[in-house]
């Protein structure tokens, strides 16, 4: 038996303690007016009105819900299933520094940049441009109309002719990429630069963030996230970056959770639906391609798979140059060839860390001089010639910083690369 609610106890006491209720219960109404049945009925009606008025006042004071049972059921259901929805944030990278814009800021990797440009960037830029025209822009008109110049009309007609010719070749544009390789090789960074090349919005999600302790909540999170991404793609081209995809779409041989099948099924269902969204490009990244479920690798999903390898000599040299001279850090007599030679098997993140740490250590000398300003009675210029990055400092930092690949089994990528 359920426990009575406090509001019901108060309501019952208020009703039964009223004089009108006592009259009805004890039959006093008949005693007061036995001479006339009509008078008794009128008295009873008045008593009923007063009782109703009292009831309404009691309900109002106690703030009793109109349907307390439904309200309690709904509240219980909300507590069981209610968790915050995953936010969707669309980033737009600034275009204020041409030195760090587009692929120009990716050190080396010329073959990779060429491949991405030819098979991915240029076709998508072309397609995005035509879709923008067809979406409602006056450029899609084939004849002059008010407000549209002759030159604009001619350009629009030329664009449409070129696009019609391109479609005749039946060339499919890959809308799903998989970047795989060891940690720190620049998978996320390359994706951001690719987004800049496409002038697209950027949505990023670590796949491990979908997990929830609530039953079925992970599948709900997956659906809400993809729904939000599809909604964003209605307004502009979107690059959807799924980082550490293996944490969600892992091989079935590694499953230890019975709900994994449900989560994978939901993910694949949502992923398949993305093919109908014209302005949405998916790029996934993983450090462990051997852990991926084969279903995500099938045709029509992540069609193009690209190995992001550790930087070669040319790339390492360009990385040091980028993080020192191109950033304008004070330096002198830097032998970039020697730095590249000394850092074989170092990844991009290692080289960035070395340069950042050297810059931080050298800049500490500025604080030493800063503290002497108040005691410098002669007000002479400070000698800052020694506050500069040199080869000796860089070589020492390299010796103190081992490659992060020392802890990585590189055979994973070599074997997986052969399979695909």
Write the CB contacts of 332 (distance below 8 Å, at least 6 apart in sequence). 388, 389, 390
Kind and range of the H or E element at 179? strand 176-180
pLDDT tens figures, 266-316: 889 999 998 888 889 999 999 999 999 888 888 788 888 999 999 999 999
pLDDT at 93: 80
Segments making up each domain of the chain, as ranges: 6-81, 98-307, 313-419
Per cent of the chain over pLDDT 90 is 33
The residue among 116 and 46 whose pLDDT is bigger is 116
Q: Is the pLDDT of residue 347 over 90?
A: yes
Do 88 and 228 form a contact (C-beta atoms < 8 A)?
Answer: yes
Q: Which residues pair with residue 238 across a beta bridge?
A: 201, 280
Do 129 and 113 form a contact (C-beta atoms < 8 A)?
Answer: no
Tokens at 7, concatenated: 């509001």
pLDDT tens figures, 115-157: 899 888 999 988 888 888 777 544 333 334 444 456 677 787 8
User: Is this prediction's pTM over 0.75?
Assistant: no
Q: Which residues pair with residue 281 across a beta bridge?
A: 239
Q: Is the pLDDT of residue 264 over 90?
A: no
Q: Which residues pair with residue 239 across a beta bridge?
A: 202, 281
Tokens 């720190």 map to which residue?
Answer: 184
The residue among 24 and 164 whose pLDDT is bigger is 164
CA distance 94 to 114: 24
For 98-307, CATH number? 3.40.50.300
Do 412 and 287 form a contact (C-beta atoms < 8 A)?
Answer: no
Q: Which of the four pLDDT bands, split at 50, 70 and 90, describes residue 177?
A: very high
Most confident residue range from 104-108, 140-144, 320-324: 320-324
Say which CATH topology domain 313-419 has: Helicase, Ruva Protein; domain 3 (1.10.8)
Nearest to 11 by CA among 66, 64, 68: 64
Do 219 and 260 form a contact (C-beta atoms < 8 A)?
Answer: no
Q: What are phi and psi of 151, to 5 degrees?
A: -60, -45
pLDDT tens figures, 239-252: 999 999 998 888 76
Q: Which of the four pLDDT bands, split at 50, 70 and 90, describes residue 404?
A: very high
CA distance 276 to 83: 29
């Amino acid at each position: 038996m359920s426990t009575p609610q406090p509001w019901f106890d108060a309501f019952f006491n208020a009703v039964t303690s009223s004089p009108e209720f006592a009259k009805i219960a004890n039959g006093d109404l008949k005693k007061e007016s036995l001479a006339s049945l009509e008078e008794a009925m009128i008295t009873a009606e008045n008593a009923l009105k007063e009782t109703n008025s009292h009831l309404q006042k009691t309900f109002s004071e106690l703030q009793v819900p109109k349907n307390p049972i439904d309200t309690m059921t709904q509240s219980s259901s909300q507590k069981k299933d209610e968790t915050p929805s995953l936010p969707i944030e669309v980033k737009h990278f600034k275009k204020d520094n041409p030195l760090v814009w587009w692929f120009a800021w990716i050190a080396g990797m010329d073959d990779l940049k060429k491949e991405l440009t030819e098979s991915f960037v240029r076709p998508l830029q072309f397609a995005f441009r035509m879709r923008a025209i067809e979406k409602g822009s006056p450029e899609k008109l084939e004849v002059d109309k008010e407000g549209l110049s002759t030159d604009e009309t001619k350009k629009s007609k030329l664009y449409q002719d070129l696009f019609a010719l391109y479609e005749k070749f039946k060339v499919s544009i890959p809308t799903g990429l998989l970047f795989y390789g060891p940690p720190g090789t620049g998978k996320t960074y390359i994706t951001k630069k690719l987004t800049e090349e496409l002038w697209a919005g950027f949505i990023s999600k670590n796949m491990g963030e979908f997990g929830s302790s609530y039953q079925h909540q992970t599948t709900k999170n997956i659906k809400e996230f993809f729904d939000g991404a599809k909604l964003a793609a209605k307004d502009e081209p979107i690059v959807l970056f799924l980082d550490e995809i293996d944490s969600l779409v892992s091989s079935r041989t590694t499953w230890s959770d019975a709900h994994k099948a449900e989560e994978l099924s939901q993910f694949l269902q949502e992923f398949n639906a993305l093919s109908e969204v014209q302005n949405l490009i998916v790029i996934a990244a993983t450090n462990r391609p051997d852990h991926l479920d084969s279903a995500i690798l099938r045709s029509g999903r992540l069609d193009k798979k690209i190995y992001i390898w550790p930087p070669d000599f040319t790339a390492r040299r360009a990385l040091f140059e980028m993080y020192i001279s191109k950033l304008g850090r004070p330096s002198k007599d830097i032998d970039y060839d020697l730095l590249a030679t000394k850092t074989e098997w170092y990844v991009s993140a290692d080289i960035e860390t070395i340069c950042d740490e050297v810059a931080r250590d050298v800049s500490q000398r500025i604080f030493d001089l800063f503290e002497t300003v108040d005691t410098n009675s002669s007000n002479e210029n400070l000698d800052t010639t020694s506050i500069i990055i040199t080869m000796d400092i860089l070589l020492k930092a390299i010796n103190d910083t081992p490659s992060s690949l020392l802890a990585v089994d590189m055979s994973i990528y070599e074997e997986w690369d052969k399979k695909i």
